Structure 1
């Protein structure tokens, strides 16, 4: 039951739908819901992360069962089906590719093999091309530094070399992080140019035959086990018209130590190359006598996964929606990994977020009907590259022009109640003003992402809609525990990243303190509920890269 503690809500009056409030005037309305409980969160997180769902991989029996469970929960609390054909589901067609055991990738020094790509302790590789057989013969290796072409930063690692048909070796992250120089890119904070996704995209644009990223834990923000676990086994992608022909024939990672060994064969020191790559006058260089050859054999199938969508319809403006989203998928099973546990349960990542949006939906449904509508969207294939949200952004169930704003929930730690909330990508949109006023009423405060170098802003589903212009908020529980302080929270977060993130160890534990996840769910519920009962259309802040996209969207005739 929703209890309105006070009824005064400050509204921003709009001159046009494309202009939000420059600063939200503090609202005085506090909203709470008895529907958001630790008991319900526990039941739903435990269910979603159980072995019965086999790690919730898209297109698998476990993934199908997990998405059906979410739909059943939406139905049980009375949400309106918002998917296709009157259902709760939006079908997302995916390709599923698995390299066969007889696939090979080798790096040769002259004619002698000096690197076996099938050594899982030092290498992972795959292809996004939809060909059953792919061969690369004697592709020359080229070191391209960070592999960045960024005109706005006056930076082009490819400017003086032709890499068509060659294999590029690439450093992870960007020069700003490597130097901690705030005048380079965004300093310590990772830009999109530092993300692995960009590295492969740019290598393909440059015509490379293969692209291999050199792993290093600090700039990647995760260890080798995360890399090997994430890119082993079946790999998913959206169905592309060109069947992956625009991608490089091979994508992969190798460990820093193995890259050092290879380059020494050619008389080069990786540390020297790293230092050179941070200079604006860096020139990519061919690596003498080292070539890559590969013979890839793969099983290709098309599978269908599902986004799950339910709604609460508004009383006054039913066509306009506040969006809540979380990804339901995880990494499935991997029979090749060491140890008895082969299931990646994904309890924190992201059974917590999925359970939270169901709890918030239940609070919306059982309380006083909001004036504007709310959409609750559980998306698939986030772990495969934000595929479910990318598909939704292209084929929205609610027109993006009618999407007031969105709140993304991804991987909340069972830390307990905190004094703060963390905003990933802080300084982006006026949703932060709403969050700030919501926290003020609880004597809490906002903190920016404490690891901007990790690039979390580009690693979750909100970015798919942000790139279309929809204002999005990605917020998590903070680190300052109410009783045990900041160091306790930081250590808790570090322990999860080091020992459980993208590992079979990310499992539900009955000793979890869910009070902080409940706290965060209540805060995000209040924020969205107040927004649904206002006339606000939040915008991106001036100077952000997405503001012009929102303005164009809202001014369009479509």
Structure 2
């Protein structure tokens, strides 16, 4: 495995490359053949049509091209010396505190043969005001260029007179962290699996908040999801044997870029072609029972239809993700499975609360996102209601248990971006 032990960038030209997207199937290329080798590239977060709400990238809904992980990968493919992403709260779907708190600890990745294929030497974010000032000093108008970047005719622009320098060492350590797997072996078709997943990690000890608290407890995100997964494992182990194996997967390093689930999906214990479905639980709501439920992001697949039908049977309705522009589909541990074709969803508690309706539910979720998400304040308190979470667990478990007791293979819907990957392994399923 090759390592970069030091990064030295001296007076590198700075280039603005719009949203940093190369999407041939959409006839879109923000780089237009510009050689960015040895240059530092500045790009915007999200997709080119986020601001306008219509276009080639799903309107307000985020595609994978809008995710910061993709932008770093593309910069690496093009040989850039570094990539800086301009942070803005609305298109990122989180404030600067989330960026800061998520990137000031040790940065992690899975072990790769050649990390430079996934990461440029220097990766970073800059605040919008810093970008505006930088552009202004180069005689450019940030807002005008941002608008221009929303068109496929956009051409990258060099920031004349502006250069970037950095000189620092990189300390490498191979850290062993664990995914934890439990299995209830199927009685009839043990080689076929249904996976229930959740992530056991959080941010650990980091920058102190205003009260001096520097322990990032991760009580909602994701102790609730892990508690749900453990309870479903207990139910599976104490009941009659399912036909298919039921696998309970607690993954590590989700907060570092879905690394535990990416590692499992890259090195599966049980063949992905014979994994009937993955149901992930990430951050269940302790506010109280809801009349509805959701999943992260947009998805067209039979597994969601099963969940909707089960919900209807217990008087709960499905509310589509109201913030598809946040790209939540790409931000939970089901995604490494989905991109390899496995039907996978990440369950979310609803916002239409039995007590207080949508207004109360939205107020609670907004308060959590602003005041606690990825902050030390995400900790248990005695106002938590567990009856809502127990209802969520019952719903999720019933979907997975039914799938484990059947010979069905859920499919992706027509037009789903992961359907082709699943279809390619069809011969391996009976």
TM-score by length of 2: 0.96
More RCO (CA 8 Å, sep 6+): 1
Q: For residue 243 of structure 1, report the CA deviation from its aligned partner.
A: 4.5
Counterpart of 2:388 in structure 1 is 516
Candidates 48, 52, 56, aligned match of 1:175:
48
Listed as ranges, the gaps of 5+ residues in structure 2 are none
Q: For residue 356 of structure 1, report the CA deviation from its aligned partner.
A: 0.4
Candidates 224, 229, 239, aligned match of 2:96:
224
Counterpart of 2:238 in structure 1 is 366
Q: Find out whether 1:260 has 2:132 as its counterpart.
A: yes
Q: Secondary structure at the match of 2:346?
A: strand
CA contact (8 A) 2:184 2:245 kept: yes
Q: Find out whether 1:411 has 2:283 as its counterpart.
A: yes
CA contact (8 A) 1:160 1:284 kept: no
Q: For residue 335 of structure 1, report the CA deviation from its aligned partner.
A: 4.9
CA contact (8 A) 2:202 2:216 kept: yes
1:208-223 equivalences in 2 (<5 Å): 208-223=80-95
The 3 A distance-change label for structure 1 pair 508 and 130 is: farther
CA contact (8 A) 2:45 2:88 kept: yes
Counterpart of 1:307 in structure 2 is 179
> 1:190-245: per-residue Cα shift (whole Å, max 9, x none)?
11111101111111112111100000000000000000000102111111112436
CA contact (8 A) 1:161 1:285 kept: no
> 1:533-558: per-residue Cα shift (whole Å, max 9, x none)?
2221111112212122112113259x
Q: Find out whether 1:249 has 2:121 as its counterpart.
A: yes
Candidates 143, 146, 152, aligned match of 2:16:
143
Counterpart of 2:6 in structure 1 is 133
Q: Secondary structure at the match of 1:176?
A: coil
The 3 A distance-change label for structure 1 pair 245 and 522 is: closer
Question: Hey, which bits of structure 1, 4+ residues long, moved more than 4 A?
Answer: 335-339
Listed as ranges, the gaps of 5+ residues in structure 1 are 1-94, 96-128
Q: Find out whether 1:500 has 2:372 as its counterpart.
A: yes
> 1:363-407: per-residue Cα shift (whole Å, max 9, x none)?
111122222220000001111111111111111111112211110
TM-score by length of 1: 0.75
CA contact (8 A) 1:193 1:199 kept: yes
- In the alignment, the residues of structure 2 paired with residue 294 and residue 337 of structure 1 have an alpha-carbon distance, to the nearest angstrom, of 29
Q: For residue 184 of structure 1, report the CA deviation from its aligned partner.
A: 3.0
CA contact (8 A) 2:77 2:117 kept: no
- In the alignment, the residues of structure 2 paired with residue 142 and residue 443 of structure 1 have an alpha-carbon distance, to the nearest angstrom, of 54
Q: Find out whether 1:239 has 2:75 as its counterpart.
A: no
Counterpart of 2:341 in structure 1 is 469
Counterpart of 1:385 in structure 2 is 257
- In the alignment, the residues of structure 2 paired with residue 162 and residue 401 of structure 1 have an alpha-carbon distance, to the nearest angstrom, of 40
The 3 A distance-change label for structure 1 pair 337 and 142 is: farther
Larger Cα Rg: Structure 1 or Structure 2?
A: 1
CA contact (8 A) 1:146 1:171 kept: yes
